[in-house]
Chain A
Amino acid sequence: MALFTKGITFSKKVTTLTLEVIDTPLPQRVILPLKQYIGEASQPVVGKGETVTTGQLIATAPTDTSLPLHATISGTIKDITDYEDATGTPSPCLIIEGDGTDTWAETPTTKEEKALSSFSPAALIERIHAAGLITTQLAPVPLTTDLVPIDQPKTHLIDGQRITKKIDTLLITALDKEPFLGVNRSLAGQNNKDLADGITALRIITGASFVRFVVDTHSGPYTQINELVAADEAETTTLTAVNGRRFPIGLAIPVIKAALGREVPLPYGHPRDVGVALYDIATAIAVGQAVNTQLPQVDSLITVGGGALSTTGIVRVRIGTPIREVIDACGGFREEPAKIILGGPMTGMAHYDLDIPITKETEGLFALSHDEIQLSGDYRQCINCGRCVAVCPVNLLPGILSLYCAKDRFDMAEADGLFQCIECGCCDYVCPSRRPMVHLFRHAKRQVMET
């Protein structure tokens, strides 16, 4: 299917990744930001100096859009103080000094043997919320905020009218946001007992009639996904294979276009506006685990890569681990890195501090060498070559937009679709004048929002 033909294709060489999961040793300390994503900061229920066990609730969610916070290692609360979180801004954090034993909290063993299908959506959402799950498809938000339960449809303002759309398709993507990341491809290639349950739970909550898997043709084989598709006799489960080396097909807006041919209204649109619930396979598995075991999420898989690192691959880390410890666990630097990036090299954020923690939304950790990066430096005038137009996944004219933004004509940029930009960075990548397009667009967006 050629519903998505724009974007850029990376060569096999630069995107090759070992999809084996590497376990890292327990971190000596973890840093857990209390403010998680959009909601209010969680309220700590433990004090300084208290002993905590792994999985113990250490902060409660004050509102529906906040998340409860759990200790991810056992040890003592060393401090509750301001610390730089994954966005590089100081926010109140709980710091746990590990005791190295990883003692788990006593879990309620009253495990009712109840079939998953007999759960109500509200009961499932309760468990997902208690596990502290998030989704990162558009921006990191608590999963329960993003989910649209079948009995509580969310409305959206489009064209001046409120539109309520029922979720009809649950889109489970085995693509990573960038070809350089590999967590979802790695999970899709393995068998996981919680995947089917997670999908069932998400189907019960959203009431979706159809399930669609999106997989990468360059990875696989997808034994379990194929089995799930074959096992569904009602033929409501289908599979779409797309070229995962083509960036940005893994991002939310393009993947819906590529798999279903639907266009999410932009700007400020959400997959639910076109009747789609979009989650990646890692989220589906986490949902399955949360529903089955009622245990909180304490670790996550991240992709570790970049030319400056000795070992690269998929790494299982405890949430809150400082990136310095992750790098040490991977054998340290092979050479002095030029950039440290949380997220992927195309859309991630560069950091200057190795002590910031891995959080739930962290998908990758990249240490790029000086050879790999290319700075804008003294960028040149746009030469109107149209390469950005050829790659822009949302059909903008990035070169012309960047001229408006650089000349402070934010009104014209807005009229020409500035807020449609999904900041994938394709235009930036191809620009022969090395114009910092995404930089200019973000600057312009902020200027417009502030006025």
Chain B
Amino acid sequence: METHYIVSMSPHLRSTLSIERMMQTVLIGLIPAAVMALYLFGIKSLIIMVLAMATAVIVETVIERLTNQPLTYKDCHAILTGVMLALILPPSVPWWIPVIGAGVAIILGKMVFGGLGNYPFNPPLVAWVVLKLSWPERMSFFIEPHTASQALTPLMALKEDPSLFYSYAMGDLFLGNIPGALGTVCALAVLIGAAFLLYRGVIRWHIPISFLGGVALFAAILHAINPDIYPPVIFHLLSGGLLLGAFFLAPEPVTSPVTPTGMLLFGFLAGILTMIIRMWGAYPDGTFYAILIMNAATPLFNYLKPKEYGRVNRA
């Protein structure tokens, strides 16, 4: 029998990292936050997550079928988009909010641009903004953990009365015993997941650290100016969607810059924007808006290239 050998260009070895592996690792990294959501807000949070995931996968598959594209549900990106969206929704939303949201995330956020790799904005955040603008009351209705009574998130309270932040124990913020969106309330769970992602090398430190650094710097300056009305750095770091945004949403590969300098600046500016919106904007938490605005600027950051090796001017 004549044997045939494969002929292709070098390199002949490749790393085992693939898109599927990346997405699966991020999903694993979200498990602590999802488990905490289940513990704090009960079975309803699971329903929200499952509905969002299922809708995302179904919508993506239907679109790919209709447009004769290869099916991509196996790469787990649709599932991830669904979970990510669910985790930034308030726990009290009716069932059709995650369904519409996941549909919007996949159609408007991802597929109209050509699928994974082409979209300019983070799909879950696109859906979040659409939901926020369409049903503002439902998207601002937060509840106390373990109960169904309406409550204000720390950042919403801050908008009402700046001095209210003293009534929050930092331990509660850290462990998630506060009202807030499903996956964002427990800082500890998000940090555990983030540590896992950093360890596995799926996200790199540049964006999260500069993001948190930007927020911390801005908050520290404000706090130094007037500690009575500007909360301390740790309050800002632990409240709202900041940690989830900094570790899971902002470093999303497609919508973030590729160069180290670009990543650092991207994160830092997103942090500053977050603080500006939190302090003087119309919305209590600026994290998601800041990320979306910086997403739009991502192509510009790719001009911040490292110096090419040995480049000579060919005048």
**Chain A interfacial positions (CB closer than 8 Å to B):** 8, 158-160, 253, 257, 263-266, 269, 336-341, 343, 345-352, 366, 368, 372-376, 378, 380-390, 393-397, 399-400, 417, 420, 423, 425, 428-434, 436, 438-439, 442
Contacts and interface: CB of A to CB of B under 8 A. Distances in A.
Contact of A384 (B5, B7, B256, B306): B256
Given A346-B13, A385-B258, A434-B14, A158 B312 contact: yes
Contacts of B10: 341, 343, 345-350, 423, 425, 428, 438
B147 interface: no
User: Would you list the 9 A-B pairs with minimal beta carbon distance, nearest first?
Assistant: A381-B117, A425-B11, A386-B258, A385-B253, A394-B309, A374-B14, A266-B310, A439-B9, A263-B310
Contacts of B311: 265-266, 417, 420
Interface stretch (B15-23, B82-90, B153-161, B182-190): B15-23
Contact of A337 (B5, B22, B305): B5
A385 B263 CA distance: 11
A257 B309 contact: yes
A18 B20 CA distance: 36
Given A368-B12, A373-B12, A429-B15, A383 B312 contact: no
B171 interface: no
A347 to B, nearest CB: 5
A420 B313 CA distance: 12
Contacts of A393: 309
B259 interface: yes
Residue of B256, B263, B306 with most chain A CB atoms under a 10 A cut-off: B306
B309 A263 contact: yes
A209 B187 CA distance: 61
A436 B116 contact: no
Given A373-B12, A425-B10, A383 B310 contact: no
Contacts of A352: 4-5, 7
Contacts of B8: 339, 350, 375-376, 436, 439
Interface string B20-32: 0110000000000
Contacts of B257: 386
A399 B258 contact: yes
18 contacts: A159-B314, A160-B315, A253-B310, A265-B312, A266-B308, A339-B5, A339-B7, A345-B11, A350-B8, A372-B12, A385-B258, A389-B259, A397-B259, A397-B305, A423-B10, A425-B11, A432-B18, A442-B9
B6 A350 contact: yes
B287 to A, nearest CB: 21
B254 interface: yes
Contacts of A257: 309
Given A397-B302, A433-B117, A438 B9 contact: yes
B307 A395 contact: yes
B305 A345 contact: no
Nearest to A376: B8
